Chain A
Amino acid sequence: MEWEAVIGLEIHTQLATKSKIFSGASTAYGAEPNTQACAVDLGLPGVLPVLNEEAVRMAVLFGLAIEAEIAPYSIFARKNYFYPDLPKGYQISQFELPIVGLGHLDIDVDGVKKRIGVTRAHLEEDAGKSLHEDFHGLTGIDLNRAGTPLLEIVSEPDMRSAKEAVAYMRKLHELVRYLGICDGNMQEGSFRCDANVSVRPKGQQAFGTRAEIKNINSFKFVEKAINYEIERQIDLIESGGAVVQETRLYDAAKDQTRSMRSKEEANDYRYFPDPDLLPVVVDEAFKAQVKTTMPELPDAKKQRFKEQYGLDEESTAILTSSRPLADYFEIVVKESACEARICANWVTGDLLAALNRSGLEISDSPVSHERLAGLLARISDDTISGKIAKQVFEEMWQGTASADEIIEAKGLKQITDTGAIEAIIDKIIADNPGQVEQYRSGKDKVFGFFVGQVMKEMQGKANPGEVNKMLKDKLK
């Protein structure tokens, strides 16, 4: 029988607010345990939550970006369960009336476009962390993360393969970083994924029983976990068994999922509206105001890069993969007055390679966009050749000097004086009669030899175009 997988993702994005969703404590990652948890985060008696408006703004921005319905009136609810790292014994979340309603995200898998529905996105607070190591059989609780704002984005069960699921997740990851609402750091848990997976015979309308795979923290693991789970379910059904509704954990080391709890063991969360918080009212004015802060979104930017700069699919994809990189590129083009394709080659080539080697982000690049533009400007005005430029770039990467300073100090300025070039060419021709003979008898390849000799003689500083032209004339 032919099987079809049905996949829906729930993605928790940690919103990049400075303070927590219901308190003034900092959300910065990595502090000493329990140093960033105030009375509200600790759930001390008598404390009350106050909603962080910035979290609402970010949720609305996300909703607008996926063309979703923004609820004019949404409410917070208490999700009740006991766990040591959940200080109040309930999590403040949204249940019946989430802030973001139905929207969509378009993905592209192997050139095929597909629209994935986003059911809803709701605001909630994160819990703390239980630390089971280092306490000799006891458990430590770190509440620094408690109260960190999350936007839980729930997709429709629209994906049919692990590949599609990963494409959706990547697209969402790119979007939230573009919007500046999430740093996307998966190691630190800023972007976490739960996957709902079921299988059904191809052509069947009804969904099969689904399993939920919890907390998968990389694109690679999402793909592997889903593929494993699809296989597991198909094998199970084909061998006469039945899938049970349950929560499963992905074990990356073993590359398999295992049961965590069954439906029967699931909590009854007893959701009810949180009486400590007022309904969130988002009016047209607020939406309009948020809309003015909407950056150019990835799809639109890709389209524009292709049209405006004449870039190919690959360069476009790389340059638009993050907003800072795209911005860097655009500034370089503008400031260098250099051809966009050359700028793109430099940014996606030498610059990214150097960044990767050093493990740096574009925002931490030792060569700022001003400095790179300064270098490329010298290419475009023929002061130096592309080859010399690579040498200058290496110098720039190591130090702080500008391209002009390096060119000046090292005497790398390109020689465009045709008299000087001509003298060298004449000398080379005179010194290599054999090669001249070969060329003239039709061996075109020997032309490269002459170019190389001239450039070598001139320490690479001759204008290659000029050298080519003059050599061709002289060798006729």
Chain B
Amino acid sequence: MHNKSIAELARGLRSGEFSSVELTQAFLDRIKRHSSLNCYVTVTEDLALQEAKAADDRIAEGDATLLTGIPVAQKDIFCTQGVKTTCGSKMLDNFIAPYNATVVDKFNQAGAVMLGKLNMDEFAMGSSNETSYYGAVRNPWDLNAIPGGSSGGSAAAVAAGLTVCATGTDTGGSIRQPAAHCGITGLKPTYGRVSRYGMIAYASSLDQGGPMAHSAEDAAIMLQVMAGFDERDSTSVDLPVPDYRAGLNNPIEGLKIGLPKEFFGDGLNSDVAAVIESAVNEYRKLGAHIKEVSMPNLKLAIPAYYVIAPAECSANLSRFDGVRYGYRCANPVDLTDLYVRSRGEGFGKEVKRRILMGTYALSAGYYDAYYIKAQKVRRLISEDFKKALSEVDVIMGPVAPSTAFGIGEKIGNPIEMYLSDIYTIAINLAGLPAMSVPAGIVGGKPVGLQIIGNYFAEDRLLNIAHQYQQITDWHQQSPKGFE
């Protein structure tokens, strides 16, 4: 049951082949059996079974959506009323939100069953899931490898069949990179497409929630529920949400694909490059035209990102001060001590590093040289994409320069870790939508193809990914031991 698509499961639920309670129980059993992957921070077993029961009733009443009764899991960055939301941090180890994130509300309204909360890099800061207070997540394809990050728990759980699908968030690649490393399909929507309300902020101008699933079709079903204007999020965009599933089978003949030469230079593993080339070839067979494009400012994306994101996070994380909720140090002697020790003890190393970088970048005398300059670079990068996307329909390239690296391999070297997001970060700076689609396996580990589209072209991206998944089966492969 754990490898079926959402549509297949929905059919099974409706035909009475199995109930949501049975389906949910099957996933809860698998979660227990594979707990050593460390995908979940919290498993909401009782709640899930309650919700499954309610979903069964709803299905019986004939009032079901495609997601009614389908087990999903939430990245632990989305606030869930009455269920602990940790954001992967000691700081929020005791935090229970009195409200749901808009995304969580929407899954609830659709009748989805929440299995639990998924492990992640602390406050979404990391590319390997190793910065989590709850420990590293193992990649089901190679238990000694990282699953990617920050949505590492989400990607590993979907790949290992510990949920049907999962939510993720993507600030610099946090949906796409783990999706690539775990061989699943992930979509980072256009900035503003999915509400950020109740999604704990890392870098507000870059954060965007999105679906992580086996296939483009499953991702389309999820996005249908997640997308849309939210009056509680001023940066969400009031545009109609298209029927994402309806367009999946549109022909893509004549599609113009751009390949930025900067995506294929030094630093890209040659085996990964070969996988991308062969994927592009599949598209050629489907009638696409391939064109080289250039993104001359791409090399500035990482430095610009590592000014803007830390700057925003330095303010976003100021609220974690030990005063109202979250971790508070023992026996503070005065206000300064309360602040210094609560934050010093509550935050991990990477979070502190980024708060410090951001604080520095915003300081008097440095603001223009760092923050303002980074914003200028951000505009230049957006212009690069705008120009390229005026020549082609979509841009393709790798998601990550290599397959999943080993646990412990890069955690001691932040710069090297940051460089693993070299192909994803620029897309966040431009606010564009992009997908990661399973496209091959190298050395037993999956490789993802990245497809970048124009603003609000999620329907087109899903269509293009779906067409590829009709002629390939990379998205259907399961890691050994998790079949």
Tell me if B97 and A276 are in contact (CB < 8 A): no
Judge whether A43 and B201 touch: CB under 8 Å.
Answer: no
Which chain A positions have C-beta within 8 A of B205?
275
Cβ–Cβ < 8 Å partners of B371 in chain A:
272
Using an 8 Å CB-CB cutoff, how does the interface string of B310-341 with A read, 1 for contact, 0 for none?
01101101111101110000000001000100
Judge if B162 is at the interface, Cβ distance under 8 Å.
no
User: Which one of B92, B231, B362 lies within 8 Å of A80 (CB-CB)?
Assistant: B362
Query: How many angstroms from the CA of A463 to the CA of B362 in the assembled complex?
Result: 81
Query: Which of A88, A271, A275, A277 counts the most chain B CB atoms within 10 A?
Result: A275
Which residues of the partner chain B approach A43 to less than 8 Å between Cβ atoms? 319, 324
Q: Identify which of residues 62-110 in chain A touch chain B, using a CB-to-CB cut-off of 8 Å.
A: 78, 80, 82, 84, 87-90
* A274 → B minimal CB distance (Å): 8
Contact in complex: B101, A278 (CB < 8 Å): no
A355 nearest CB across to chain B (Å): 44
Closest to B101 in A: A46
* A80 and B234 contact, Cβ closer than 8 Å, known pairs A42-B324, A44-B325: no
Residues from chain B with Cβ under 8 Å of A42 in the complex: 324
B-contact 0/1 string along A262-295, CB 8 Å cutoff: 0000001011100111100000000000000000
* Any B CB within 8 A of the CB of A50: yes
Q: A39-B98, A87-B319 are in contact. Are A268 and B363 (CB under 8 A)?
A: yes
| B79 interface contact, C-beta 8 A | yes
Chain A residues 40-54 with CB under 8 Å of chain B are 42-51
| Chain B positions within 8 Å of A297 at CB level | none
Partner of A44, one of B97, B311, B363: B97
Q: A342 to nearest B CB, angstroms?
A: 55
B111 within 8 A of A: no
Q: Assuming the A-B contacts A39-B98, A51-B234, A277-B234, are A46 and B318 also in contact, with contact meaning beta carbons closer than 8 angstroms in the complex? A: no
Of A45, A90, A277, which is within 8 A of B315 by CB? A90
Q: Closest chain A residue to B85 by CB distance?
A: A45
Q: Is B204 an interface residue (CB 8 A)?
A: yes
Distance to closest chain A CB from B420 (angstroms): 25
Asked if B264 CB lies within 8 Å of chain A CBs, one says: no
Q: From residue B34, how far is it (CB to closest CB) to chain A in Å?
A: 29
Contact assessment for A141 and B323 in the assembled complex, using a CB-CB cutoff below 8 Å? yes
Chain B 230-259 interface mask (CB, 8 Å, partner A; 1/0):
011111000000000000000000000000
* Chain B 336-380 interface mask (CB, 8 Å, partner A; 1/0): 000100000000000000000001001110010001000000000
Instruction: Specify the chain B residue showing the minimal Cβ separation from A90.
Output: B315
| Cβ-defined contact, B324 with A272, below 8 A | no
Bound CA span A336–B235, Å: 56
Produce 1/0 per residue, B264-292, CB < 8 A to A. 00000000000000000000000000000
Other-chain contact of B198, A47, A49, A141, A268 (Cβ < 8 Å): A47
Q: B83 interface residue, CB < 8 Å from A?
A: no
Instruction: Give the docked Cα–Cα distance between A89 and B235 (Å).
Output: 21
Cβ–Cβ contact A48 & B319, under 8 A: no
Residues of B within 8 A of A276 (CB): 201, 204, 234-235
- Choose from B97, B315, B339 the contact partner of A272 (Cβ within 8 Å): B315
Q: Is B146 an interface residue (CB 8 A)?
A: no
Verify if B199 is at the interface (C-beta below 8 Å from A). Answer: yes
Q: How many of B's residues come within 8 Å of A, CB to CB?
A: 44
User: In the bound complex, do residue A46 and residue B323 qualify as a contact, i.e. CB atoms below 8 Å apart?
Assistant: no
Beyond A45-B85, A275-B205, whether A268 also contacts B232 by CB under 8 A is no
Q: Which residues from chain B contact A87 at a C-beta distance below 8 Å?
A: 319, 323-324
User: What residues on B are CB-neighbors of A89 within 8 Å?
Assistant: 315, 317-319, 321
A271 CB contacts on chain B under 8 angstroms? 362
B197–A270 touching, CB < 8 Å = no
Q: Which residues of A contact B234 (CB under 8 A)?
A: 48-51, 276-278
User: In the assembled complex, how far is the CB of residue B364 from the closest CB belonging to chain A, in whole angstroms?
Assistant: 5
A89 to B319, CA, bound (A): 5
Chain B residues with CB under 8 A of A46: 78-79, 85, 97, 101, 196-201
Chain A residues, Cβ within 8 Å of B362? 80, 270-272
Instruction: Identify B318's interface contact among A44, A51, A88, A278, CB under 8 A.
Output: A88
Q: Do residues B363 and A90 form an inter-chain contact, with CB atoms below 8 A?
A: no
Given A43-B324, A46-B201, A272-B362: A78 and B196 interface contact (C-beta under 8 Å): no
Name the residue of chain B whose CB is nearest to the CB of A81: B318
Given contacts A277-B234, A278-B235, contact A44 B98 (CB under 8 A): yes
Chain A 435-469 against B: per-residue CB contact (8 Å), 1 yes, 0 no? Answer: 00000000000000000000000000000000000
Number of A-B contacts (CB under 8 A): 102
User: Please, how many angstroms separate the alpha-carbon atoms of A46 and B81 in the complex?
Assistant: 12
**Contact in complex: A78, B79 (CB < 8 Å):** no
CA distance A12 to B144 in the complex (A): 59
Q: How far is the CB of B183 from chain A (nearest CB, A)?
A: 30
Judge whether B482 is part of the interface by a CB distance below 8 angstroms.
Answer: no
Indicate if B418 sits at the interface (CB-CB under 8 A): no
Q: Which residues of A contact B199 (CB under 8 A)?
A: 46
Counting chain B CB atoms within 10 Å of each CB, which of A48, A50, A87 scores highest? Answer: A48
Q: A39-B98, A90-B318 are in contact. Are A272 and B311 (CB under 8 A)?
A: yes
Bound form: Cα–Cα A51–B196 in Å: 16
The reply to whether B204 and A50 contact each other, CB–CB distance below 8 Å, is no
Contact with A78, one of B200, B315, B323 (Cβ below 8 angstroms): B315
Interchain CB contact under 8 A, A50 and B364: no
Chain A residues, CB < 8 A from B87:
45
Chain A residue nearest to B199 (CB atoms) is A46
Closest B residue to A49 using CB positions? B234
Known: A44-B97, A270-B363. A82 touches B197 (CB 8 A): no
CB < 8 Å neighbour of B367 from A39, A48, A84, A272: A272
List A100-138 residues whose CB lies under 8 Å from chain B. Answer: none
> Which residues of chain B are near A51, meaning CB under 8 Å?
234
A275→B235 contact, CB < 8 A: yes
B interface footprint on A213-256 (CB within 8 Å = 1, 0 otherwise): 00000000000000000000000000000000000000000000
User: Residue-by-residue, is B168-204 near A (CB-CB < 8 Å gives 1, otherwise 0)?
Assistant: 0000000000000000000000000000111111011
- Cα–Cα distance between A277 and B232 once the two chains are bound (Å): 11
Q: Which residues of B contact A84 (CB under 8 A)?
A: 321, 323, 335
Distance between Cα atoms of A45 and B199 in the complex (Å): 8
Distance of B368 from chain A, by nearest CB (Å)? 11
Minimum CB–CB distance for B107 against chain A, Å:
16
CA distance A275 to B318 in the complex (A): 15
Q: Could you say which residues of chain B place their CB within 8 Å of the CB of A275?
A: 203-205, 235, 312
Is residue B95 within 8 Å, beta carbon to beta carbon, of the partner chain? yes
B204 — which chain A residues lie within 8 A by C-beta?
A: 275-276
Residues of B within 8 A of A272 (CB): 311-312, 315, 362, 367, 371
In the complex, A80→B196 CA distance in Å?
22
What residues of B have a CB within 8 angstroms of the CB of A277 in the complex? 234-235
Contact between A48 and B363, CB atoms less than 8 A apart: no
Q: Does A82 lie within 8 Å of B318, measured CB to CB?
A: yes
CB distance from A119 to the nearest CB of B (A): 21
A43 vs B322: C-alpha distance when bound (angstroms): 12
Provide the residues of chain A in CB contact with B335, threshold 8 Å.
84
Q: Which of B197, B319, B363 has the largest count of A CB atoms less than 10 A from its CB?
A: B319
Q: Indicate with 1 or 0, residue by residue over A21-59, a CB within 8 angstroms of chain B CB atoms.
A: 000000000000000000100111111111100000000
Q: A45-B92, A80-B362, A90-B315 are in contact. Are A50 and B232 (CB under 8 A)?
A: yes
List 12 additional contacts besides A50-B233, A270-B314, A275-B204; criterion CB under 8 Å. A39-B98, A39-B99, A44-B97, A44-B319, A44-B325, A45-B92, A45-B200, A45-B201, A46-B196, A46-B198, A87-B319, A90-B318
11 interchain pairs, CB-CB under 8 A: A44-B99, A50-B234, A80-B314, A80-B315, A84-B335, A88-B319, A89-B318, A89-B321, A270-B364, A275-B235, A276-B201
Lowest 5 A-B CB distances belong to which pairs?
A89-B318, A275-B205, A270-B362, A275-B204, A46-B198
